[in-house]
Amino acid sequence: MLYKILILVLFTTILFSSPGHTSEKEIFLTSTEYPPYYGQELKNNGFITEVIKAAFEKMGYKIKVEFFPWLRSKAMAESGDSDGMYTLWHTEEREKWFVFSDPIPPHNTIGVYKRSDREITFETYRDLKPYIIGSVLGYAYSPEFMAAELKGLRLYTDEKLITKLVQGRVDLAIIDKIQGNYLFKKRFSMKNNKFEFMEPPLEIRQQHLVISKKINSAHKIINDFNDGLEEIMNNGFYDDILDEHGF
Nearest to 189, CA basis, from 166, 160, 171: 166
pLDDT for res 187: 87
pLDDT for res 16: 41
> 178-197 pLDDT, tens per residue?
999 999 998 888 777 899 99
Domain boundaries, the chain: 2-106+207-244, 108-205
The mean per-residue pLDDT over the stretch 87-95 comes to 96
Asked whether the predicted pLDDT for residue 208 surpasses 90, the reply is yes
Question: How far is 175 from 35, CA to CA, in rounded Å?
Answer: 12
**SS3 letters for the chain?**
CHHHHHHHHHHHHHHHHCCCCCCCEEEEEEECCECCCECCCCHHHCHHHHHHHHHHHHCCEEEEEEECCHHHHHHHHHHCCCCEEEEECCCCHHHHCEEECCCCCCCEEEEEEEECCCCCCCCCHHHHCCCCEEEECCCCCCHHHHHCCCCEEEECCHHHHHHHHHHCCCCEEEEEHHHHHHHHHHHCHHHHHHEEEEEEEEEEECCEEEEECCCCCHHHHHHHHHHHHHHHHHCCHHHHHHHHCCC
The number of CA neighbours under 13 Å toward the Cβ of 72 is 8
Whether omega for the bond prior to residue 105 falls within 30 degrees of 0, making it cis, is no
> 37-77 pLDDT, tens per residue?
999 999 999 999 999 999 999 999 999 999 999 999 999 99
The mean per-residue pLDDT over the stretch 94-101 comes to 97
Question: Phi and psi of 222, rounded to 5°?
Answer: -65, -40
Question: How far is 210 from 100, CA to CA, in rounded Å?
Answer: 5
Neighbouring residues of 204: CB distance < 8 A, sequence distance ≥ 6: 107, 108, 109, 110
pLDDT for res 240: 96
> 111-153 pLDDT, tens per residue?
999 999 999 998 888 889 999 999 999 899 888 888 888 999 9
Question: How far is 224 from 72, CA to CA, in rounded Å?
Answer: 26
On the question of a common fold for 2-106+207-244 and 108-205, the answer reads: yes
Q: Which CATH architecture has domain 2-106+207-244?
A: 3-Layer(aba) Sandwich (3.40)
| 31 strand-pairing partners | 67
CATH of domain 108-205: 3.40.190.10
Nearest to 187, CA basis, from 199, 198, 175: 175
Neighbouring residues of 88: CB distance < 8 A, sequence distance ≥ 6: 74, 94, 98, 100, 140, 207, 208, 210
pLDDT for res 24: 55
